[in-house]
Amino acid sequence: MKKEKILIVSYKIPYPLSHGGAIAQFFFLKKLIFFYDISFCTIVCNQIQKENLEGLKKAIPELNIIIYEQIDKIAFKSILVNKLYRFSNILKNKLKPLLSKMLGKINTNTNTNIGVIDKNFGYTSEGIVVFLNEIINKEKYKLIQLEFFETISLLPLLPIQTKKIFIHHEIRGKRNSLINIPNSIYKNYIVETTKIIENSFLNISDRIVVFNQKDKEYLGELSSKVHISPFGIPNELIEKEKASVLFNKFIFIGGETHFPNKEGLEWFLDIIYIPNLDRISWPIYITGRWSESFVKKYEDKIDVIFTGFLPNLKEIYENSVMLTPILSGSGIRTKILQSFANKLPVMSTKFASEGLFENVSPIHHIIHFETEIDFLKEFEKMRDNMNYLTTVANNGFEYFSNNFNDIELVNKRLQVYLE
């Protein structure tokens, strides 16, 4: 029987499985390819991304990959931007001591320039619009699916008669409402502007997919279009079969380019971990790609260890407690799901675990903390009782197995397509 055709457009390449966005996309691509003839359209900006797409094709041979190449322009811009960024950091580090003496201590933690951490909206380039329009007109697709906020401005381009599905990995208005912007007037302006832009585009879609109930509630006025359809963890990333019985370190998974990672990790290190190093005797291992300036900030702390990107996490999982001190964003934290699937105990802010605990009472599968006092209390409890951590890890796996069953997750997504 001939499969119906689906077009999925995303600017984020779902391979390798090095970040949450890739994992969320890959999980469904690999499952839904058995039900539909899927074309995945993306942008390639450099040779590494080309190689990543080759890896994706090997992992899912049936997937039809459509590439829009803009290597020359983007590569040049990327090199230029990186050089300017490095130069500005060097200049800032050299001038900062001098300016501090002249002007007093400089507060580097305030961030009133939202543009540094967020791109609210920008017109999609003419080349991409023309390219995508040609693809849409060549084939008859049952539905067209857009992934991530970065593609939201493509919604007006899609044919009225074609079902349009927007996969909202992170609600931008919600994320901006949680970011610490000292100027309340400016923050309110940013939040309201983002919400107006975001909701106006979302209203064009036929279906909006979010990953938890809180996100659906946030999109209240659009709720009739909103479906909760979370992702699971690909089998390739389930590497640990048994929960550890001894624990002696923390791990944090994620890179700096996703702002909530930087914001949350910096808060945890500066406010909780480093001021209490004498009481917290465990090191913290931080995976993923982090800027030289961020790593340098903690270079004198021997217990803060940056590993860089690790293609395999099995070794670092052993004897570890996963930390997710995330304060902003939306969706479901892949790092928590990944921990549950690999039988790691998780310590998390309640916000970071949205969609992963509300349906359970009492909560036995995740350890929550909101403040320095909370964290120290929980740490001392688990340090003195390793069995407690092993139990939490096994409970997390049970929760994952009961609530993120592959078959049920796929059926939920198919319902979105078929309604």
3-state secondary structure of 216: helix
Residues 105-116 have pLDDT tens digits of: 444 444 444 444
Q: Mean pLDDT throughout 383-407?
A: 96
Dmax of the chain from CA atoms?
A: 76
- Please tell me if the domain spanning 5-69+117-232+407-418 has the same topology as the one spanning 236-403: yes
Q: Tell me what the pLDDT averaged over the chain comes to.
A: 90
Question: Which pLDDT belongs to residue 76?
Answer: 45
pTM of the model: 0.86
Residue 378 has pLDDT above 50, yes or no: yes
Q: Domain limits of the chain?
A: 5-69+117-232+407-418, 72-108, 236-403
CATH of domain 5-69+117-232+407-418: 3.40.50.2000
Higher pLDDT, 115 or 65: 65
Q: Mean pLDDT throughout 201-223?
A: 95
Least-confidence region, from 51-65, 103-117, 128-142: 103-117
Q: Which pair of structure tokens corresponds to residue 300?
A: 């004198």
Number of Cβ atoms within 10 Å of the Cβ of 88: 11
Question: Which pLDDT belongs to residue 70?
Answer: 85
d(CA 204, CA 182): 34
Residues 273-317 have pLDDT tens digits of: 999 999 999 999 999 999 999 999 999 999 999 999 998 999 999
Q: Do 39 and 8 meet the contact criterion of CB atoms below 8 Å apart?
A: yes
Q: Which pair of structure tokens corresponds to residue 247?
A: 């624990």
Least-confidence region, from 127-131, 173-177, 304-308: 173-177
Q: Mean pLDDT throughout 39-46?
A: 96
Q: Sheet of 207-210: strands edge to edge? A: 64-69, 37-44, 5-9, 143-147, 163-167, 207-210, 226-228
Q: What is the CATH T-level fold of the domain 236-403, as seen in this structure?
A: Rossmann fold (3.40.50)
3-state secondary structure of 333: coil
Q: Which pair of structure tokens corresponds to residue 225?
A: 């279009």
Residues 12-33 have pLDDT tens digits of: 999 999 999 999 999 999 999 9
Number of Cβ atoms within 10 Å of the Cβ of 69: 15
Give strand pairing partners of 210. Answer: 228
